[in-house]
Amino acid sequence: MNDVTAKNLALSHMWVAFSAFILACFMGEYQVLERSGLFDSLSSPSVYFASVSTHGVLMAFVLTTFFIMGFGYYTASHSLKVPVWNPKLAWFGFGLALTGVVMAAVPLLSGLASVLYTFYPPLQAHSAFYIGVTLLVVGSWIWSATMVVMFSQWKKANPGQTVPLVMFATTANALLWLWTSAGVAVEVLFQLIPWSLGWMDTIDIGLSRTLFAWTLHPIVYFWLIPAYTAFYVFVPKQAGSYLFSEEAARMALIVLVVFSLPIGMHHLYMDPEQAKGWKLLHGLGTFIVALPTLVTGFTVIASLEIAGRLRGGKGLFGWIGSLPWGNPMVLSVILSLVMLIFGGFGGIVNASYAMNAMIHNTAWVPGHFHLIFAGTTIIMYFAIAYYLWPVLVKKPLYSKSLALVQLWTWFIGMSVMTTPWHVLGLLGQPRRISSVQYNNLLTLSWEPYELLMILGGLVLLGSACLFFYLLVKTQFSANTESFEGEVEYAEPLHEVKDLPEYLNDFKLWNKVIAVLMLISFGVPILQFFFMDTYGSSPWGY
């Protein structure tokens, strides 16, 4: 199936995603320069916080959401061999989301929404920012609904058949996003928008933070699932191998979706508004959600090992050297997994209730998420883009060797930038500060690390520019050579037979999620309506 609409939707969404990305990379470099305190002329807290808020929103919400939507439209249509359901609606969703981005960008760039990407009150932004974010989310709901409809229609038309793994993963992500975004949607609609418009004098910040925590953990898996999808459906094939176990892949995706939802309060360990027992419950769930990542690591490495051995690799580790390191998808997965070891280790430290006190609100946290999000996750977005672009524009990739340079430099830059942040966090440097106003032995000990992070940032900026250049060149160069290749999905090592319905559908899992959410967020949210604190009802009194 080669639906032109699906291709155009994919390209349009991904261009928005990567344009946001490149802009945000320049801001990132400015931020490390400003934050280092080495350049007096750059020092401006107001510009810094406008920049860091825009950088966060562009990377975490615009790059991700648009990339995921574009990837979903294309793979859904391609794997199910059907056109995109209701293309007019899909384009409307695209327009709505883009309008939201532009609407939010105006206050962000003019310093009227310097509230960081988490927009925690009492920081307050101009109402256009919250309304813009809402439009982006509503636009993405149209995408989610489209994926669910395409999944259900295909199942109805093909009773008893196994849904292609790539579509299973995409639908899992669409459902995850519907559940995930509900928390922040309630916060924005019932608290932040009325408050920013002056309709309410006060809002309950404990409630806002709890609703945001509902969203904050699962959203990171919403970003991550396309990377895992590529691990499962593209990597084994590109490496010349088979997917070690499709059943394990499906189970991992399900556990990831189900358990990423009821655990968001690990972001609130140090907050006062929730009781310790609830936090501990969410802490235990957090350890459960690390398991599907371990299963994913195992399955992907097993698939790679088969590839290496098929290519003649011998011995315990000899297969690693004989992998096709020159294939961008394979190189990306190797680098992604290496970053996952350290990023995941950091996550486990964060999740450990007692150790969280040591690193919470320090530079360690941006170290963790740049490594695991901007590193592990985004390097796979690059790999997917390099893989899809030739198919979408029907021209060969402009330069494979430059793509490899780009992937290596991204890995090196990310390692050089995030290692100092982890150390700085342990040395007590707070996150979210624009400058250090005092000098003592402790703050002086931070300086060498500041230099390293500038260097890492520069390498990353160069790498990002190279990535953007390669996409532009692939699509727009006067190359007359045409590319006829197709996207190919990995075959499982053992044929999938008699798949139980719970590994081929989400009805059961939606019910499980509903129960888990009721247990883990029911009382923690309801308590605000009974507690006798000023402004404890969301409409204020």
Query: What's the CA gap between 309 and 130, in Å, rounded?
Result: 53
Least distance in Å: CB of 216 to Cu ion? 6
DSSP code, position 449: H
Alpha helices in 81-204 (DSSP H): 87-109, 127-157, 165-187, 193-196
Distance from the first to the final alpha carbon of the chain: 57
Name which of Cu ion, ligand HAS, none residue 373 binds, using a CB cut-off of 5 to 8 Å depending on partner kind.
ligand HAS
The one-letter code for the residue type at 363 is A
Q: How far is the CA of 205 from the CAs of 122, 145, 284, 388, in angstroms? A: 7, 31, 25, 43
Give the distance, in angstroms, between the CA of residue 269 and the centroid of all CA atoms in the same chain. 22
Query: What's the CA gap between 80 and 1, in Å, rounded?
Result: 8
Nearer CB in complex with ligand HAS: 87/226: 226
Nearer CB in complex with ligand HAS: 361/533: 361
Tell me if 421 sits within 8 A of 363, measured CB to CB. Answer: yes
Point out the catalytic residue in the list 26, 431, 468, 469. 431
Residues 215-234 that bind Cu ion (CB under 5 A): 217
- Phi/psi for 399 (5° steps) reads -155, 115
Nearer CB in complex with ligand HAS: 30/373: 373
529 noted as active-site residue: no
Name which of ligand HAS, Cu ion, none residue 223 binds, using a CB cut-off of 5 to 8 Å depending on partner kind.
ligand HAS
368 noted as active-site residue: yes
Least distance in Å: CB of 37 to ligand HAS? 22
The one-letter code for the residue type at 457 is G
Least distance in Å: CB of 137 to ligand HAS? 17
209 noted as active-site residue: no
Least distance in Å: CB of 287 to Cu ion? 12
Least distance in Å: CB of 352 to Cu ion? 13
Least distance in Å: CB of 212 to ligand HAS? 9
Nearer CB in complex with ligand HAS: 304/384: 304
Point out the catalytic residue in the list 13, 209, 217, 422. 217
- Within a 13 Å sphere around the CA of 478, how many CA atoms are in the beta-carbon half? 0
Name which of Cu ion, ligand HAS, none residue 294 binds, using a CB cut-off of 5 to 8 Å depending on partner kind.
ligand HAS
Residues in contact with ligand HAS by the rule CB under 6 A: 118, 216, 220, 223-224, 266-267, 286, 289-290, 293-294, 297, 301, 304, 320, 334, 337-338, 340-341, 344, 347-348, 350-351, 356, 360, 365, 368-369, 372-373, 377
Nearer CB in complex with Cu ion: 74/521: 521
Point out the catalytic residue in the list 18, 73, 130, 221. 221
Residue with tokens 């593209």: 234
Chain position whose Cβ is nearest to ligand HAS: 344
Q: How far is the CA of 324 from the CAs of 237, 305, 308, 319, 536, in angstroms? A: 11, 12, 8, 10, 58
Tell me if 193 sits within 8 A of 130, measured CB to CB. Answer: yes
What token pair was written down for 451? 């230099």
Query: What amino acid positions are annotated as catalytic residues?
Result: 217, 221, 368-370, 431-432
Interface residue list for Cu ion (CB under 5 A): 217
